[in-house]
Structure 1
């Protein structure tokens, strides 16, 4: 894919950085389906798009937080969420593969299309940069951690269904 302008969504190095941000913020130590991380990554990058997610009734206040990030929307028109999300996948997969090779993700989990961060120490400078950005967006990061903890991935009313980013109808029940 040839790009004329830079977009973080299509940068595997930036995706790896975002995965580390999610890991440090939400304490992703247990195995998590890769699609869950992909969805959280999408909303970390585009927090203003959280408004379109079907939320539990007690979580509707998150739309106000999402709306406060609308100024981060790119200056040009972007395709709808599904198209951007699907175009991000190869870059997210490359990022995860790179983190496996670097020792930050468990290879056995990755072989099963899951993400499990290892106990490999993240360099202090990188950890500090992740913490700074997470603190700057603490409201969104907290929402994403809540989504990871409380919203199941598959099935009707799961994360796939509520976001509309992935097909859920063929999930095992």
Structure 2
């Protein structure tokens, strides 16, 4: 049986990355933030595991979706690291096409030229799923954009996907 997982589709990953960057201040964001965002956008059923910032206006219930045994994930971190190659390939492809500024990419940041990109958000899947995905874009382009990546209350610790204790 052939099963399609949009999380492992490089072209869908390019769309996810561009959608996030386009909604961020200055159309620029750290590479690690993009990886974390991409995981939750590709697998929105995992978003309720995020530890949210107090007084941010977001709650776990905002991201709650009906349980589905086919979307359960055994090991979040393993899947996150498997997606690293997909995100890296998508970012390199966008840089090769001229959509991303290569000088920023060398610094570990992604920046686009908004004049070139025209994204029309398409709704696919259920309305509940589309609603959660649009809330995730808002969350990562506003509240989580300003969070430090490292530290006890940083983005890596809040999502539990990346280890931050070895960061300098």
- For the aligned pair, the TM-score class normalised by the smaller chain equals 0.7 to 0.9
Which position in structure 2 is the counterpart of 1:151? Answer: 147
Cα displacement string for residues 105-156 of structure 1 (whole angstroms, at most 9, x for unaligned residues): 111222233211134512x5xx22x3x4499433332222234333221222
Whether the aligned pair in 1 keeps the contact of 2:76 and 2:161 (CA below 8 Å) is yes
Taking a change above 3 Å as real, the CA distance of residues 151 and 74 of structure 1, as seen in their structure-2 partners, is: farther
CA distance in 1, matches of 2:34, 2:25: 12
Aligned equivalents of 2:96, 2:141: Cα separation in 1 = 26
Q: Which 5+ residue runs of structure 1 have no aligned equivalent?
A: none
Count of aligned residue pairs for this structure pair? 162
Q: TM-score normalised to the size of structure 1?
A: 0.80
Task: Tell me whether 1:19 sits opposite 2:17 in the alignment.
Answer: yes
Which structure shows the bigger proportion of residues in helix conformation?
Answer: 1
**CA RMSD, Structure 1 to Structure 2 (Å):** 2.6
Residue 39 of structure 2 is aligned with which of 36, 39, 42? 42
- Displacement of 1:60: 7.3
Inter-partner Cα distance in structure 2 for 1:76 and 1:106 = 35
For residues 81 and 16 of structure 1, the distance between their equivalents in structure 2, rounded to whole angstroms, comes to: 21
Corresponding position of 2:91: 96
Distance 1:113 1:26, change over 3 A: closer
For normalisation by structure 2, the TM-score amounts to 0.82
In structure 2, the CA distance between the partners of 1:28 and 1:152, relative to structure 1 (3 Å rule), is same
In 2, the alpha carbon distance for the partners of 1:74 and 1:101 equals 39
Give structure 2 stretches of 5+ with no counterpart: none
Q: Measure how far apart 1:89 and its partner are.
A: 0.4
On the 8 A contact 2:7/2:43 being kept in 1, the answer is: no
| Distance apart, 1:80 and its partner CA | 2.0
Q: Is the 8 A contact 2:94 2:100 kept in 1?
A: yes
Deviates more, 1:133-142 or 1:43-52: 133-142
